[in-house]
Structure 1
């Protein structure tokens, strides 16, 4: 019997609804509004916030805990003649837990108005009109968030890079159609002259236990806006914590290299306690 392949937009409507139901199942009943400064974080550096062990990334301080791994994404600021990156700046912090990842970024915002509503609408438009996905607003523990479904291409190269146990779990029908729907959850909080965004991927979309760990991390982030004037939406500068410098030094000693390439994987801190 031939397999009927549904159109991407037809299939994504159903998949998005299922993902939304799963996301709704992990929300808490006492969801605060999507603004900082209340009884729960994220926190401004001027707030009275809980004293926790945190990694200092300059503009944001991220809590650590058992089972958490941390990595930093870099953006190229200089390339060679072939387009290979030479220098870069840190642009986001990745918090890893089990099969889940939370990407965190902080931006400058106006004094008297938030930017999350506009960013959320623009992100939804890009997903639906440019990426061929689906997106819709949902109420979450930090206020209104965005739940999206993006078509992830399953090329032979992608499939070959997957661990065998992961590839075996993909239905043959999905492999034949050449793409799989990837759920992504966008959360945002407007603070005093800053905006904090989190992007959640992986099992935490459906797994309540994994989501709770990442939610607690995001809720306990402290943002240090600084007094310097910055245009709205400009990324707040990130720096590497001393723990990352120590990890990079260990990598150089083990690998026999005197230089650190930020565009290679790492430095990485795992199982921070």
Structure 2
């Protein structure tokens, strides 16, 4: 989430085509291969691998484009669908328990949540941690995105990460998996892994995920 003294409601945008399934892809050329996710390569973006310190497992990717960021996580899902509606309700409950405010709005990918949780800003003022939760369901998978940075409060700043989200390719695989199992993520071949030092305030602002990204790693591809 990003910190802000206030936030405005995002204006509904035209619906974008969502992320694609690997079966729709003809070639991996032009993509960064993170295992379960193929991310379109671009010069103006940075990708961070979010690592769980206890298991050393990659639990999410956080992609920065200019002033906006998006954290993405792929999960297995039943063929019947409906996962995003269930996740929406869980996010709402979590935000409310933190004395936050949450609003369901119509976004470019359908239903999404605009959430804010009370916090103390770096200058000591009371403010909010702000984030937008978006989701998309494919064949037996579900991709969740958390829009942060300037993109959480500015629709124009969010366009680049929304466009990126729409071009992500999910590699589900054929193995039987229980619903909501996090799909395997891994660094691209030859990627340089450098630990990114962050202060306490930055760690606090970057924790919207149910799987704590406790040891972020920078990917320089």
Q: What's the TM-score, normalizing by structure 2?
A: 0.81
Give the ranges of 4+ consecutive aligned residues of structure 1 lying more than 3 Å apart after TM superposition: 48-52, 206-209, 262-265
Judging by fraction of residues, say which structure has more helix. 1
CA shift for structure 1 position 50: 9.0
Structure 2 unaligned residues grouped into runs of 5+:
1-5, 196-212
Match of 1:266 in 2: 217
**Of residues 45, 57, 60 in structure 2, which corresponds to 1:92?**
60
**Of residues 39, 46, 53 in structure 2, which corresponds to 1:76?**
53
**2-structure distance, mates of 1:42, 1:141:** 12
CA shift for structure 1 position 265: 4.9
**Of residues 147, 150, 154 in structure 1, which corresponds to 2:114?**
147
Judging by fraction of residues, say which structure has more strand. 2
**1:1-273 to 2 correspondence within 5 Å?**
15=6, 18-20=7-9, 23-24=10-11, 27-29=12-14, 31=15, 40-48=17-25, 53-78=30-55, 88-128=56-96, 130-154=97-121, 159=122, 167=123, 175-176=124-125, 179-244=126-191, 247-248=192-193, 265-269=216-220
**1-structure distance, mates of 2:90, 2:218:** 33
**2-structure distance, mates of 1:213, 1:113:** 27
Evaluate the alpha carbon distance shift between residue 52 and residue 147 of structure 1 in structure 2; reply closer, same or farther with a 3 A threshold.
farther
CA contact (8 A) 1:188 1:195 kept: yes
Q: What's the TM-score, normalizing by structure 1?
A: 0.67
**2-structure distance, mates of 1:50, 1:28:** 30
Match of 2:206 in 1: none
Structure 1 unaligned residues grouped into runs of 5+:
1-14, 33-39, 79-87, 160-166, 168-174, 253-261
CA-atom RMSD in angstroms: 2.6
CA shift for structure 1 position 264: 5.2
CA contact (8 A) 2:67 2:150 kept: yes
CA contact (8 A) 1:114 1:191 kept: no
